[in-house]
Chain A
Amino acid sequence: MQSSVSSRILIYAAAIFTAAVIIAPFLWLVISSLAAPADLLVRPLRWVPENPSLSRYAEVFSGAGSAASTFRAAMVNSAIVATSSVLISMGVGIFGAYAFARLRFRFQRAILLLFLSTYMLPPIAILISLYLTLVQLRLLDSKLGLVLVYCSFITPFVLWIMSGYFRGIPRDLEDAARIDGCSRMGALFRVVLPLARPGLLATALFGFLLAWDEFLYALIFTSSLGSKTIPVAIAEFTGRNAVDFGMIATGGIVASLPPLAIAFLFQRYIVGGLAAGGVKG
């Protein structure tokens, strides 16, 4: 369809405005992480720092300061917790998702909805008892405890999204493999899973983002350097060192690097998978 000059101008103006609104706050975070402390505390504010430096990043990656070592430990914890929760949830959920997609059994829809409802369950509803239970199991303040809890909300997500993907794979291919002598599980591993690779990737990445972003459970269940995750570390640092804005910004950006990298590199998979999973019944 042809569009008039004025509507084209409107579109470009809107695009530039949108980009500015999205980029400006984040850009300010980047600038704050590079600026010298004095530049951040002057009035009127200097938007472009006089002596930008990467010193805070050097500190976070290799410095000995307590903030730096906390951030590093928390990043490692987050990476371990998120990766293990995703691996376990995928390993467990793929089979269930296949059952929902391909088999017919009693209470199928009810069971799927039950899983989905646990995914929607407000964490606060189980937080208090989980806390009391973890105290008794001596799993409080441990990565393992956190991984178990994360699996309980990533697995339903895997079931939901992956069953949608499996349903989208033509049955004929699987039937052909079974006629050639594959068992159901053989067909799952040799035919269905390789075909569902984009879906597997999207689901795993999205699960990783969910785990990386989780805050409430981590806040309550972890406290020591051995298990604290990065959102907890940042929230604590923001509360305690309310004036070291440069370091808050640097920590924030470092914590955002993994999710931002995933989101940009796998944009198409994630955005597509997200929309498909939410809208398809």
Chain B
Amino acid sequence: MSVTRAPKTARAPRSGSGSRGAFRQGRLALLLLLPSLVVVFGIVVYPLLRTLYTSLFDVNSAFPGTYPFSGLGNYLRAVQSGEFWAAIGRTFYFTLSTTVLEVVFGVLLALLLNAEFRGRWLLRSIVILPWALPTVVNGAMWRWIFNPEYGALNALLTQLQVIPEYRSWLGTPWMALNMIVVADVWKMTPLAAFFVLAALQTIPRDLYEAAWVDGAGKVRSFFSITLPLLTPTILIVLVLRTMEAFKVFDLVYVMTRGGPANGTQTIAYYTYVEAFSNQLFGYGAALAYIIALFILFFAITYMRLLRRGEVEY
């Protein structure tokens, strides 16, 4: 047994020794990566390029055919459209408010989950619930709670005499947008908290003990130890959530369908309406590329942060 395998043993290389080994590794890597490359880029790259191509034409039906070339016309149309900028504005508002709230509440929640108290395991389990709830169910749930005639929020607030009569929470654009923010924050804060909790658990205890010996109180040690050490994680959560929030579609679809008076149309929803309801595929494609550019910017930021993110003590 050992005789036949002896030559192989002699060659068993530590990784990357010699150019021949590197060449072999390259070939093996290509072989191993090929299935993933086919599955991912086979499905993504062609549509991505085709979207770019489509965005240069006035495509107004799902069927193949010849459509007039319009160059950057679709992009210009977007930039000159008031609806487009309104949708961008709402998207920025939604993104900024959800991200900030989720990070702030996420840090507070993580601190709580990291504190020592009886029943902590139970709270840690409960916190998973919103995160695991499907987004569409979350939307349907809040829509029901915010219902103007039978909703639980109205019932609760009138019975507690906070408001005198039932209100239409999703009835005015500004209020509806904020209610979507509430639904998103409820669902996604736990995710931010998990990230922060993981980072909290890596902070060595002696740091706090040293600070305590030096006479620093809890608040002081939070701001001079915890927060600085959490900063890389917080930045990552911030960018990850920004990217997700910028794409928001399902919550809007389920809770308001973009209404009232288009007041909750985010940019992804606006693109969906233009492309699939109005069959303006060319214009929709241009809008999609504009969104992708925004996300690309966030993604580059994220990768930069990841590279810097390795904390040392």
**A interface residues, Cβ below 8 angstroms from B:** 1, 7-8, 11-12, 14-15, 18-19, 21-23, 25-26, 28-29, 32, 40-41, 43-45, 47, 88-89, 91-93, 95-96, 98-99, 102-106, 108, 111, 113, 115-118, 120-133, 135-136, 148-149, 151-152, 155-156, 159, 175, 178-179, 181, 184, 209, 212-213, 215-216, 219-220, 230-231, 234-235, 238-239, 245, 248-249, 252-253, 255-256, 259-260, 262-264, 267, 271-272, 274-276, 278-279, 281
Contact = CB atoms under 8 A, between A and B. Distances in A.
Contact of B28 (A103, A148, A159, A235): A103
Contact of A215 (B194, B253, B284): B253
Nearest to A78: B134
Contacts of B92: none
Given A126-B44, A259-B132, A18 B109 contact: yes
A267 B250 contact: no
A94 to B, nearest CB: 9
A30 to B, nearest CB: 10
Given A88-B39, A117-B299, A105 B30 contact: yes
Closest 6 CB pairs of A and B: A275-B198, A263-B132, A45-B155, A129-B47, A152-B43, A96-B36
B250 A252 contact: no
A260 B40 contact: no
A45 B191 CA distance: 33
Contacts of A129: 46-48, 50-51, 54, 285
Interface string B13-34: 0111000001001101110110
20 contacts: A8-B117, A14-B112, A19-B126, A22-B186, A25-B142, A26-B129, A28-B141, A96-B36, A115-B36, A122-B292, A128-B47, A133-B47, A181-B8, A216-B272, A234-B140, A235-B250, A239-B257, A252-B137, A255-B136, A267-B124
A216 B250 contact: yes
Interface stretch (B82-90, B94-102, B303-311): B303-311
A274 B26 contact: no
A124 B64 contact: no
A45 B212 CA distance: 52
A239 B255 CA distance: 9
Interface of B: 5, 8-9, 12, 14-16, 22, 25-26, 28-30, 32-33, 35-37, 39-41, 43-44, 46-48, 50-51, 54, 62-64, 109, 112, 115, 117, 119-120, 122-137, 139-145, 147, 150, 152, 155, 158-159, 186, 190-191, 194-195, 197-199, 208-209, 212, 218, 232-233, 236, 240, 243, 246-247, 249-250, 253-254, 257, 268, 271-272, 275-276, 281, 284-285, 287-289, 291-292, 295-296, 298-299, 302-303, 306-307, 309-310
B136 A234 contact: yes
Contacts of B275: 127-128
Contact of A216 (B62, B130, B249): B249
Contact of B310 (A98, A181, A267, A281): A281
B132 A262 contact: yes
Contacts of A252: 134, 137, 140-141
Nearest to B111: A14
| Residue among B15, B112, B144, B198 with max Cβ neighbours from chain A (10 Å) | B144
The prevalent SS among residues of B at the interface is helix
B33 A95 contact: yes
Contact of A235 (B54, B129, B254, B268): B254
Interface centre among A40, A105, A209, A215 (most CB of B within 10 A): A105
Specify which of B63, B142, B191, B288 lies most central, judged by the most chain A CB atoms within 10 Å of its CB: B288
Contact of B36 (A95, A220, A260, A267): A95
Contacts of A149: 43
A272 B26 CA distance: 32
Given A95-B36, A127-B288, A272 B198 contact: yes
B39 A89 contact: yes
B30 to A, nearest CB: 7
